């Protein structure tokens, strides 16, 4: 179940096209990270876009680390 959650989460973080078309663009209300990255790239703010992308990458890695640690702990305690 944790592996399924991790794969779904990774897919959700990586999704771009459909999310940008569906989401609203009200600042500080419905603004999402992929849309923020796209806006920053259109404004030639490459440093800002990189910062948001790195934050998403860091969150993804931390979530995967937590999930892997939980799986290891569950395997160890179930023996």
Question: With 80 as the cut, is the pLDDT of residue 66 above it?
Answer: yes
* Number of domains into which the chain is organized: 1
According to the model, what pLDDT value does residue 37 have?
Answer: 87
> 3-60 pLDDT, tens per residue?
788 778 777 776 766 776 777 667 777 778 888 888 899 999 999 999 999 998 898 8
State the pTM of this model.
0.73
CA angle at 68 for the pair 76 and 11, rounded to the nearest 5°: 150
Q: What is the pLDDT of residue 61?
A: 86
Structural domain span for residue 39: 2-77
Query: Residue 23 and residue 48: Cα distance in Å, rounded?
Result: 20
């Amino acid at each position: 179940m944790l592996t399924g959650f991790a794969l779904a989460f990774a897919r959700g973080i990586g999704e771009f096209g459909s999310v940008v078309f569906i989401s609203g663009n009200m600042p500080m209300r419905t603004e999402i990270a992929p849309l923020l990255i796209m806006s920053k790239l259109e404004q030639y703010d490459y440093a800002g876009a990189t910062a948001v992308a790195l934050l998403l990458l860091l969150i993804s890695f931390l979530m995967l680390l937590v999930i892997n640690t939980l799986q290891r702990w569950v395997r160890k305690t179930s023996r």
